[in-house]
Amino acid sequence: MAGYINSIHTGSTVDGPGIRVCVFLQGCNLRCLYCHNPETWALKEGGSRFTSKALYEKIIRYEPFFKNGGGVTVSGGEPLLQSEFVQEFFTLCKEKGIHTALDTSGSLIPKNIDGLLEVTDLVLLDIKFTKKDEYKKNTLADMDKVLRFLEILNEKKIPTWVRHVVVPGLTGKEEDMLYLKALKEMYQCIEKIELLPFRKLCLDKYDEMGIEFPLKDTPEAEEEEINRLYQILNG
């Protein structure tokens, strides 16, 4: 099976445990207000076409880096748009004993979700917003599907890291932290919560695509604020 890939990053230490190869797929069903990868929106544009075997053969060259708890992370875009391709690729990885992580919004539940999760060691679940109306307004997707996806992860006992981007004035408020803290207490599959500071490294991408970045005047999140929010989460 072939999939559409935007880019492959090696040596990542922020997309799951250990040193990882991160594969960014094309295609996204969301339009997050703070999106930093607009070049991945279109499924068949701006990327390369790989078969699952060709992708596996490309990343297996980095296997020596996986020995200390690393592995492969598939991100996007939204990888669940190409769920069958990801399942095939992860199956090849698992046959070699490579740790697999899926970085997703959880806003889609594909028909092959059971098979995909059988070969997924870790899910990085991006909780974009904590209120349903804000989620719909700022991503154009339904938060109820995200919560259903989380329920499936919990039922199948899939280790999950929840991620939340802190955008000053938009996300990362105290009530958001209390919501995320309650989620962690409710779902045993959630191992930890990661707060990701909003950055504007994407500005050049928007300029090249002729699109105005909606949050170009929003300040980046400061480390001091991130630390304060972690105190709320862990308090």
Segment 40-97, tens digit of pLDDT:
999 988 889 999 999 999 999 999 888 888 999 999 999 999 999 999 999 999 999 9
The rounded distance, in Å, linking the Cα atoms of 92 and 154 is 25
pLDDT digits (tens, 9 = 90+) for 135-188: 999 999 999 999 999 999 999 999 999 999 999 999 999 999 999 999 999 999
CATH of domain 2-234: 3.20.20.70
pLDDT at 65 (0 to 100)? 86
Rounded to a whole number of angstroms, the CA Rg of the chain reads 17
Closest CA to 124 of 26, 24, 192, 32: 192
Asked whether residue 28 carries a pLDDT value surpassing 90, the answer given is yes
Q: What is the pLDDT of residues 93-131, one digit of tens each?
A: 999 999 999 999 999 999 999 999 999 999 999 999 999
Domain boundaries, the chain: 2-234
**Which one, of 165, 231, 161, lies nearest residue 189 by Cα?**
161
Model pLDDT, residue 47: 85
Output the pLDDT for position 235: 83
Q: Give the global pTM.
A: 0.96
Nearest CA to 107 among 139, 135, 142?
142
The pLDDT of residue 68 is 82
pLDDT at 153: 98
The pLDDT of residue 198 is 96
Q: What is the pLDDT of residues 196-222, one digit of tens each?
A: 999 999 999 999 999 999 999 999 999
Please give the mean pLDDT across all residues of the chain: 96
Count of CA atoms in the C-beta half-sphere (13 A) of 203: 10
Query: What residue ranges in 84-231 does DSSP mark as E strands?
Result: 99-104, 122-126, 160-166, 190-197
The yes-or-no verdict on residue 1 having pLDDT over 90 is no
